[in-house]
Amino acid sequence: MRLSDLDEVMRIEKKSYPIGWSKSVMRDCIKSDYHTIVLKKDKQVIGFGIIMTALDEAHLLNMCIDSDFQGKGYGRKLLKYLKNICLCNHCKIFLLEVRESSLVAQSLYKSFGFKQIGLRKNYYKKPNGREHAIVMNKSL
């Protein structure tokens, strides 16, 4: 992901989440040591992922596929690529949070071997309150 990708990334983020990340947070991730990846189809950004690695752990901070391209295997392809980044960085644990209401994402993560290890209550903001996050991890 480059700074020049931010407008397209933010379009997907705003389309996908009622209250998502800000452009400045995305910019900070790009400028930091995080692994920021975009998935493109015909030169158009259709998805992105952001991973933070530290020591032997990786944390998937954000991953999203444009709703127009969901259900076509792109999320699986992006997650596989992100997992390979973790392996190249000698990570042993891959951790993430997922919205309790996001059953499709949970299903994808479970199919990759992620297991629920906890719950973060009221973690995600929603227009009418907050939503719990399911904490999942996978040994690599």
Residues labelled as active-site residues: 97, 109
* Number of other residues whose CB lies within 10 A of the CB of residue 17: 16
Q: How far is CA 7 from CA 11, 36, 37, 38, in A?
A: 6, 14, 14, 12
Tell me the C-alpha distance between 75 and 140, whole Å.
Answer: 19
Q: Which alpha helices (H) appear in 6-138, and where do they start and end?
A: 6-16, 23-31, 74-88, 103-111
Task: List CB contacts of 83: < 8 A, sequence separation 6 or more.
Answer: 94, 112, 140
**Tokens of residue 83, six digits:** 């997992």
CA dihedral sign of residues 28, 18, 45, 78: positive
